[in-house]
Amino acid sequence: MSCGKRKLQLELLAGGLAVCRLESQSPLPEWASGEFVSITRTPDELSVVCPQEAVPKNIRCRRGWRCLKVVGPLDFDLTGILSSLAFPLAQAAIPIFALSSYETDYLLVEERYLEKALRRLRRAGHVILTPDSRL
């Protein structure tokens, strides 16, 4: 089943996030807590996404990310969801960091690109729900 030209509803989550990199064999960090946390271990690294204020200063990370949640749940058979979001942003040279959970997808955009990203996504026909109506 294709997402095709279907327009998505996105929710801009409150607060800034950090994307962190630790060594692959590092223990799961105790500081990785909060309302939104994603931890991915690969043979090459341990990646942690969490509220930026939770990250100790000595941790390698990029702060200042904002999160757009695709309002779900989404069926596993849907295709083209991330591409329908990534394509208009790529055309505008806006980098993203994508995550998926069991029920939906999340798109992280750096704060410095946020307003431009929201405009581009709206122009592509997606609906953005924000806690701040000015965005």
Tell me if 125 is assigned to some domain: yes
**∠ Cα 117 122 128 (to 5°):** 85
For position 82, what pLDDT does the model report? 87
For position 86, what pLDDT does the model report? 96
Tell me if 22 is assigned to some domain: yes
- d(C-alpha 122, C-alpha 59), whole Å: 35
- Total tally of structural domains belonging to the chain: 1
Tell me if 135 is assigned to some domain: no
Mean model confidence pLDDT for the chain: 92
What is the block-wise mean pLDDT of the chain (135 residues), using blocks of 10 residues?
67 97 97 96 98 97 97 79 94 97 94 97 94 62
Burial 28-56 (b: 16+ CB within 10 A, else e): ebeebeeebebeeeeeebbbbbbbbebbe
For position 80, what pLDDT does the model report? 79
For position 5, what pLDDT does the model report? 59
Question: Which residue range is the domain that position 49 belongs to?
Answer: 9-129
Tell me if 122 is assigned to some domain: yes
pTM of the model: 0.88
Q: What DSSP string describes 35-82? A: SS-EEEE-SS-EEEEEEGGGS-TTS-EEEEEEEEEEPS---TT-BSHH
CATH number of the domain within which 24 lies:
3.30.2130.10
For position 68, what pLDDT does the model report? 97
Tell me if 98 is assigned to some domain: yes
